[in-house]
């Protein structure tokens, strides 16, 4: 890679296809990720260039931490299977001194209020909290019925029942303190099982289309759907719905978390929250205008950072997270990173670290400290400060948050 001589501060990877502009100064990138970027850049419908964020690492279909603008096609595997995964954060009127000395009961209250991990959904929609049921019935179900009727394979599994649930992996609910010791609630989750089913279903359709059309690709996972076809329109409809489901999922869990804190007996009940929570996707596709053209922008592990737009960039367990304001940098397609980014796989992290290592790394944070979360230990992720420094021309930091409670699936 070569460094550009002027601002903004990206590195350029020349490829047989479009250029790759990468905000990775001071942040390591895997050789496999670089190879994956080269393959994606060879797709004939990529518009202008690829933009690569400092949290970049190998993914399925395309690297996580990549912004892919396309004309006339979308790659379902680049959007991924956790469609609409993202963050929500809200600042409360509480300060650090309002929190109890021991936060274990607070963590337990959140864990009871927000179904997480392998939660039991056998009770069906009858088990939904009233507000969740209303959102499902009035907002999400009407469109879902049309999609499910067209694509019954997507409909097989819990959909309404998982609304307002966290899931597992790197999804979390956190209580954080900012630089003024104000208390924030921060939450990370997506479209749950229905997003997974939708993503896999259309990835397979795209692969079959490539075989039918005898299209040769640099990578089998870069199979695409062409705009103007029935499959493309069906995907656009389904992926848009899944993104809305994910946004509502986060809102409902935030409401449940706030209720749990007020009812826990550990914190004063009369606290308030800022009216406008930041709620942003980081795995999604959207229609936008860039460099004089209407394009489909796939952000695979990236957040929209238009001029003045607020976003959330979380660190790992025990690290820092950031509320940021976008600078609207056109070269990044108005985007920034979605987190610290993994520096090793989950299996590698489990081999490299022990429970004692994890306990030391998360000292001072009320969270799980067992072998079930070793793959999420802070050492498995890149240095969040280096990641933020590498994208200083993409966003400005509005608040720096430090976790004191972390609920993992």
Q: Is 281 assigned a ligand-binding role in the annotation? A: no
Residue 23: which of 62, 60, 59, 49 has the closest Cα? 49
282 labeled binding residue: yes
45 annotated ligand-binding residue: no
Is 315 labelled a binding residue? yes
317 marked as binding residue = yes
166 contacts 114 by C-beta, under 8 angstroms: yes
Distance between CA atoms of residues 404 and 92, nearest Å: 15
* Residue 2, phi then psi, degrees to nearest 5: -120, 150
CA 67/CA 335 separation, integer angstroms? 8
Among the listed residues 302, 312, 297, 306, the one whose alpha carbon sits nearest the alpha carbon of residue 327: 306
329 is in an annotated binding site: no
Axis crossing angle, helix 104-113 with helix 230-263, rounded to the nearest 10: 140
130 is in an annotated binding site: no
CB 37, CB 67: distance < 8 Å: no
Please give the positions annotated as active site. 338
- Distance between CA atoms of residues 338 and 340, nearest Å: 7
Exposure b/e, 56-95, CB count within 10 A at least 16 = b: bbbbbbbbbbbbbbbeebbbbbbbbbbbbbbbbbbbbebe
- Identify whether the C-beta of residue 406 lies closer than 8 Å to the C-beta of residue 367: yes
Residue 402 annotated as binding site: no
Is 49 assigned a ligand-binding role in the annotation? Answer: no
The torsion defined by the Cα of 87, 123, 405 and 186, in degrees rounded to 10, comes to 20
DSSP 8-class letter at 148: H
**Distance (Å, whole) CA 14 – CA 20:** 7
Q: Is 314 annotated as a binding residue?
A: yes
Q: Is 172 annotated as a binding residue?
A: yes
Measured distance CA(192)–CA(242) in Å, rounded: 9
Q: Judge whether 151 is annotated as a binding position.
A: no
Q: Was 321 annotated as part of a binding site? A: yes
Q: How many other CB atoms sit within 10 Å of the CB of residue 371? A: 12
**173 belongs to an annotated ligand binding site:** yes
**Is 105 annotated as ligand-binding?**
no
330 known ligand binder = no
User: Does 174 count as an annotated binding residue?
Assistant: yes
Residue 283 marked as a ligand binder = yes
Binding residues for GMP: 170-174, 282-283, 314-317, 321, 338-341, 408
- Tell me the binding residues: 82, 170-174, 188, 282-283, 314-317, 321, 338-341, 408
Residue ranges for the known binding site for Mn(2+) are 82, 171, 188, 282
């Amino acid at each position: 890679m070569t460094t550009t001589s002027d601002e903004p501060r990206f590195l350029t990877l020349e490829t047989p296809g479009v250029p790759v502009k990468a905000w990775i100064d001071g942040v390591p990138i895997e050789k496999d990720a670089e190879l994956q970027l080269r393959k994606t850049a060879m797709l004939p419908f990529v518009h202008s260039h690829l933009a690569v964020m400092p949290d970049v690492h190998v993914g399925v279909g395309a690297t996580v931490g990549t912004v892919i603008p396309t004309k006339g096609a979308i790659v379902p595997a680049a959007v991924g299977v956790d469609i609409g995964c993202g963050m929500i954060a809200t600042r409360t009127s509480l300060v650090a001194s309002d929190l109890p000395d021991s936060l274990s009961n607070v963590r337990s209250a959140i864990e009871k209020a927000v179904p997480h991990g392998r939660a039991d959904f056998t009770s069906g929609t009858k088990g939904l909290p009233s507000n969740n049921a209303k959102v499902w019935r009035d907002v999400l179900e009407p469109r879902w019925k049309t999609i499910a009727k067209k694509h019954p394979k997507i409909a097989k599994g819990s959909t309404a029942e998982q609304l307002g649930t966290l899931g597992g992996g790197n999804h979390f609910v956190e209580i954080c303190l900012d630089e003024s010791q104000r208390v924030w609630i921060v939450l990370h989750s997506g479209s749950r099982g229905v997003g997974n089913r939708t993503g896999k279903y259309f990835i397979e359709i795209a692969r079959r289309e490539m075989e039918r059309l005898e299209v040769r690709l640099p990578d089998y996972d870069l199979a695409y759907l062409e705009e103007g076809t029935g499959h493309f329109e069906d995907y656009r409809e389904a992926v848009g719905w899944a993104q809305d489901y994910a946004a509502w999922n986060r809102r409902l869990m935030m409401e449940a978390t706030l209720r749990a804190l007020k009812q826990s007996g550990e914190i004063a009940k009369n606290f308030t929250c800022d009216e406008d929570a930041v709620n942003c996707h980081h795995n999604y596709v959207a229609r936008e205008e860039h460099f004089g053209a209407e394009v489909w922008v796939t952000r695979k592990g990236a957040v929209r950072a238009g001029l003045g737009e607020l976003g959330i960039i979380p660190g790992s367990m025990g690290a820092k997270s950031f509320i940021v304001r976008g600078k609207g940098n056109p070269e990044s397609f108005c985007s920034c990173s979605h987190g610290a980014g993994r520096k090793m796989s989950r299996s590698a992290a489990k081999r490299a670290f022990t429970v004692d290592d994890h306990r030391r790394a998360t000292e001072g944070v009320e969270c799980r400290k067992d072998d079930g979360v070793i793959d999420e230990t802070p050492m498995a992720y890149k240095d969040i400060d280096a990641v933020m420094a590498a994208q200083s021309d993409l966003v400005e930091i509005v608040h720096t948050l430090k976790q004191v409670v972390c609920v993992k699936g």
